[in-house]
Chain A
């Protein structure tokens, strides 16, 4: 260990001793990034403190952009991102940087209609609505899929996220996959140039607007929608089934998605019969070679714990845990981290 590092450790040790006189010196591992998985990561770090009291994790949910930037400049020990890093950004990494999927979530399409009926939508209809092409609820493109309910003659008001977010990334990723027109005109990203509608800040901003504006439609995180008991649509998947978004159908989406070896995958519109199509995962970003032996060792131990024990905390926080096959692959990757 270079002397500069040793000095830092001495300082950190001294600081943590000052903070909690009775506890032994703790190692501090810093991470930063995605906001979407913040609740589960907090839970993990809390639980892990009971497993290994000698290490403490400090996670700042500053957003995926910041997470990628900070891990690239190595100001944190691990990063987190709601979207996979682009080839361009990954090329800037000083060493090989690996993606580790942790949990999955989904976007739901929520709406405000009189009587809150359960609406069924296919990809073409959702794309048409968000492109501004389908502007009324009585449009045959919507009514044709919903013969059982009477849809009112009401203008559709599109509400989207105004802040950059992984939720938007998943949603636009899905629309790009099901609609060539969307792919060409808008594309996918954490923020896009929306063809229509108004922006609300955060899940709460979008759902707040949707609750208030009759005829409005928006997309929000599944966890937020469940916790706030919002109405959301069943969405037609690539097998032709209308699927209700739920943890089981998101896990099914994960299980049937095509996942490459570098784990930079998109799981929207997977082939599974009961898979919910607007699903996505979130990643931790960790260097394949850890500079600091002690920290690297603790980080690997934590990742192993997260995949074996941590995943079971996911459902209670409304995240979908990874399927066993994927956990096995991820664990193999964790073994490959050098420290």
Chain B
């Protein structure tokens, strides 16, 4: 019975065409990604040429954003993008890794699947929904409770000084954290699942407690992979637009206080693109897009460098 079936799907001996066709098709698909990035970069570059010529590198260091006087600078937006994303990472990575640890190492089998499904559903929620939730639920709570408490107990730190509006860099960080939590958790879970059981068994054999096994055998082994999960989360965080603009306050300023409103690169482009009537204005918005692309690439390169310099027995690869 099985003989005709197995021969029918194999190519006749000697025919190499399907093999090489597949190889080229796959190579083409991979090349498309590179071409796409280059084209996007090129398009942003040509779109922003006028602003590049007019402002030069001053665009990056100027804090002024005045469409009426046609003076444009990206610094507050770069600051807002980096700070809100790092803040999100600081919240999402510990939560995501802890969740992944619980799911792979600790949770009883029958609760794992429901939790995994819940996380996947979180990833499917559109960002505007998070924004609305942010405006109507999160921000009032932050303004009336958490921020008041933080100001009261940690108000001596510059991070928690200044007037409380609710909409703030902090709120944006929390919203982005929730949005990148699914990807950080899922990838961390895959990384932890790939840790060989031998590692755990060896640690148990040495008389380690459960916590010590997690720390020595699992987390230490998976360190590089978990770092990679964080970087993928960061990549998502840098470009989040809709929900961020709804909660960050959209004020192009650089403030140490997390209670102060801020602005991100992606948000200002989304906000101002439709009504930008002059060429220089439009060109400057294009340049913000170019800066965002550059920031994303630089952050990824920095992450790769850090990853290489990380020592340790860990060998699991970044997903």
**A interface residues (Cβ-Cβ under 8 A, vs B):** 35, 62-66, 68-69, 82-83, 85-86, 88-89, 155, 157, 162-166, 172, 186-194, 197-201, 205, 208-209, 212-213
Residue from B66, B167, B249, B250 having most chain A Cβ neighbours under 10 A: B250
Which one of B163, B261, B276, B282 has the greatest number of beta carbons of chain A within 10 Å?
B276
Stretch at the interface among B29-37, B94-102, B145-153, B267-275: B267-275
Cβ-based interface call for B251 (8 A):
yes
Given known A-B contacts A188-B68, A193-B64, A198 and B272 have beta carbons under 8 A apart: no
The 10 closest A-B pairs by CB, nearest first: A63-B274, A164-B275, A199-B250, A162-B250, A187-B68, A193-B66, A190-B275, A198-B249, A163-B271, A65-B276
| A-B CB contacts (within 8 Å), total count | 104
Q: How far, in angstroms, from A48 to B282 measured CA to CA in the complex?
A: 35
Asked if B165 lies at the interface with its beta carbon under 8 angstroms from chain A, I say yes
Interface 1/0 per residue, B179-217 and A, CB below 8 Å: 000000000000000000000000000000000000000
B276 close to A192 (CB less than 8 A): no
Chain B proximity of A228: nearest CB distance (Å) = 15
Taking A82-B275, A191-B271, A208-B135 as known contacts, 5 extra A-B pairs with beta carbons closer than 8 A to each other, sorted by chain A number, are A64-B274, A83-B277, A189-B67, A199-B249, A209-B167
Please report B residues at the A interface, Cβ cutoff 8 Å: 64-69, 135-136, 139-140, 143, 163, 165-167, 245-246, 249-252, 261, 263, 267, 270-278, 282
The residue of chain B having its C-beta at the shortest distance from the C-beta of A165 within the complex is B275
Known: A162-B250, A200-B250. A190 touches B277 (CB 8 A): yes
Tell whether, in the assembled complex, residue A193 and residue B68 are in contact, meaning their CB atoms are under 8 Å apart: yes
B62 vs chain A, min Cβ distance (A): 12
- In the assembly, what is the distance between CA of A64 and CA of B67, in Å? 15
Taking a contact as CB atoms closer than 8 A, the residue among B66, B246, B261, B263 that contacts A192 in the complex is B66
A201 in contact with B246 (CB, 8 Å) = yes
Q: Is the CB of B271 within 8 A of A64?
A: no
Say yes or no: A213-B246 contact (C-beta < 8 A), given A192-B67, A208-B135.
no
Complexed CA–CA distance, A62 and B274 (Å): 6
Q: Smallest distance from the beta carbon of B221 to chain A beta carbons, Å?
A: 45
A162: chain B residues at CB < 8 Å are: 245, 250, 267, 271
Neighbouring A residues of B250 by C-beta, 8 Å: 162, 198-201
CB distance from A157 to the nearest CB of B (A): 6
Cross-chain contact of A164 among B140, B263, B271 (Cβ < 8 A): B271
- Cα A192 to Cα B281 with chains together (Å): 12
A197 and B68 within 8 A (CB): no
